[in-house]
Amino acid sequence: MGTTMFEKIWARHVVAEGPGGQTLLYVDRHLLHEGSTAALVRLAGSGRRVRRPDLSFATADHYVLTSPGAPAPDAEIGSMVASLTAHTAQQGIVFFGRGDVRRGIVHVIGPEQGLTLPGMLLVCGDSHTATHGAFGALAFGIGSSEVEHVLATQTLWQRKPKTLRVTVDGRLAAGVAAKDVILAIIATIGAAGGVGHAIEYAGSAIRAMSMAERMTVCNMSIEAGARCGMVAPDETTFAYVRGRPFAPAGDAWAQALGLWQSLPSDPDALFDREVRLDAADIAPTVTWGTSPQDALPITERVPDPAAVADPVRRASLARALAYMGLAAGVPLTDVKVDRAFIGSCTNSRLDDLRAAAAVAKGRRAVVPAWVVPGSGLVKQAAEAEGLDRIFLAAGFEWREAGCSMCVGMNGETARAGERVASTSNRNFEGRQGKGARTHLMSPAMAAAAAVTGRLTDVRRL
């Protein structure tokens, strides 16, 4: 019987089997951000050193403001960044801090720097660590106490998940992006559809994606409840990784390549579950409710709770529509927006900005619209192509790198009642500010909303 990619990587990292179905795993790479500060403080307080500082890398992203030259929003947040700076220096951890062009969102700079490699086990104190699985890595988010455990031991106790393969075959139509694919997947299997599973994304539509697109898909695996999301490494992966600052070189590259080519799931490997989608059925998609599973093609209407038989789901829909201020039966294209946000670890890479700029070019934003690059290097590359000038000419704000409005914990939020066309990953109540209403969509769709003032089918532009 063949072996899945997940099982191959898991087996290579087992240190010991423990009680209660727990397995001690070796960690190849540990990424840190301001939220990791508490773990570093506790470690220092116990008198311990980081066991493998050469395998840990840190950046400041969640709390750093993206207005050019803006200070920290308050003293507490400023002290968190200062503490991370001090502790990483004391422990000998590479830190991409303020003023470093490499600084940015942790899930953007990891791949960008070649820190994310096929076959790795990679962790970070952030739920969207699944992003790195796009490289054929086993990557997932961990809690603060687990961050401290990894810092101290370079290992982590985990319970082995089941496997789920999501196959998307066929060709995506014009105007359909990777964000539409993952929203369609989550709408199909539900926000709890991946609970207890590691998802492997497969099929011709996935193989045809760029690395940026694969990262978008894997990024939102957690929104389906999955432990992680993965895509088998191939020539697209290898071409992206080659020459990155922390990637193998010379003889080490040839050796690594031999391992990486052995990682894809065997043809006869069995998964615990299988789900299939036809790429031709996927259209530009937006969310209408307060969960990523509340997603529909832009050509549809706001659903009617009265048409749902399950009383629990019916009540959930009614609550979501009340929070979102939407009426059942309204065409999604009639829903007006108050602002647009293009950024986050889901959609802030160069390809994402290019897609948004293609829509913005020659048009004018009719609502406030922010464009937040995922890293200083993404910003630099976009400016070299003139994308900043396109956005500025269209009335968009061109900002510094960071998590910004995605996470809403840095003061960069929407006001209560404001409706946001957003490329981020979560549309929970209050996610982008108390009372803010979030509609998730692709970068091109968010740009289309910005220039029309409503949810818009980008194919019409």
- Residue 72 has what pLDDT? 58
Contact (Cβ atoms closer than 8 angstroms) between residue 441 and residue 449? yes
Distance CA 265, CA 160 (A): 17
pLDDT tens-digit series, residues 211-224: 999 999 999 999 99
Same domain for 105 and 40: yes
| pLDDT surpasses 90 at 203 | yes
Quick one: 252 and 154 in the same domain?
A: yes
What is the CATH number for 341? 3.30.499.10
Q: Quickly count: other Cβ atoms within 10 Å of residue 458's Cβ.
A: 25
Distance, in Å, from the CA atom of 41 to the CA atom of 162, rounded to the nearest integer, reads 35
Residue from 234, 235, 253, 233 nearest 243 by CA? 253
Residue 443 has pLDDT above 90, yes or no: yes
Residues 94 and 192 in one domain: yes
- pLDDT band for position 310 (50/70/90)? very high
Which residue reads 């082995």 in tokens? 160
CA distances from 345 to 213, 237, 264, 372 (A): 12, 19, 25, 10
Among 273, 296, 318, the domain boundary falls at 273
Can you state the angle between helices 211-219 and 178-189, rounded to 10 degrees?
Answer: 30
Residue 278 domain flag: no
- Which residue range is the domain that position 106 belongs to? 5-273
- The alpha carbon dihedral of 40, 245, 61, 320 has a sign of negative
* DSSP output for 236-278: HHHHHHTT-TTS--THHHHHHHHHHTT-SPPTTB--SEEEEEE
pLDDT tens per residue, range 36-85: 999 999 999 999 999 999 999 999 999 888 887 666 556 667 788 889 99
Residues 267 and 136 in one domain: yes
In a domain, 90, yes or no: yes
Q: Note the pLDDT of residue 232.
A: 98
In a domain, 339, yes or no: yes
Query: Residues 352-378: pLDDT tens digits?
Result: 999 999 999 999 999 999 999 999 999
**Residue where a domain terminates, one of 273, 306, 325:** 273
pLDDT, position 73: 59
Task: Identify whether residues 196 and 231 lie together within a single domain.
Answer: yes
Q: Would you say residue 15 lies in a domain?
A: yes
Within a domain: 279:
no
Instruction: Decide if 123 is inside a domain.
Output: yes
Quote the distance between the C-alpha of residue 409 and its chain's center. Answer: 17
452 is a domain residue: yes
pLDDT tops 80 at residue 167:
yes
What is the number of structural domains in the chain?
2
- Whether the predicted model's global pTM rises above the 0.95 cut: yes
Q: What phi and psi, each to the nearest 5 degrees, are found at residue 283?
A: -120, 170
Amino acid identity for residue 320 in this structure: A
Which of 216, 248, 273 delimits the end of a domain? 273
Instruction: Count CA within 13 A, CB hemisphere, residue 240.
Output: 24
Q: What is the pLDDT of residue 79?
A: 81
260 and 322 both lie in a single domain:
no
Give me the pLDDT at residue 127, please. 95
Q: Is residue 115 part of a domain?
A: yes
What percentage of the chain has pLDDT greater than the value 70?
98
On whether both 212 and 153 belong to a single domain, the answer is yes
Within 10 angstroms of residue 403's Cβ, the number of other Cβ atoms is 32
Q: What's the pLDDT score for residue 77?
A: 72
- pLDDT(454) > 90: yes
Q: What percent of the chain has pLDDT over 90?
A: 93
Note the pLDDT of residue 427.
97
The answer to whether 126 touches 161, Cβ cutoff 8 Å, is: no
**Angle of CA points 262, 267, 270, to nearest 5°:** 105
* Strand-strand pairing, 138-141 and 121-124: parallel
Element (DSSP H or E) covering residue 58? strand 56-59
pLDDT at 411: 84
pLDDT confidence of 407, banded at 50, 70, 90? confident
Judgement on whether residues 268 and 289 belong to the same structural domain of the protein:
no
User: Using CA of residue 149, residue 153, residue 154, residue 158, what is the dihedral sign?
Assistant: negative
Same domain, yes or no: 249 and 323: no
If asked whether residues 266 and 312 sit together in one domain, one would say no
Report, as an integer, the average pLDDT of 379-388: 98
Are the C-beta atoms of 245 and 376 separated by less than 8 Å? no
Instruction: Specify whether 144 is located in the same domain as 31.
Output: yes
Residues 355 and 235 in one domain: no
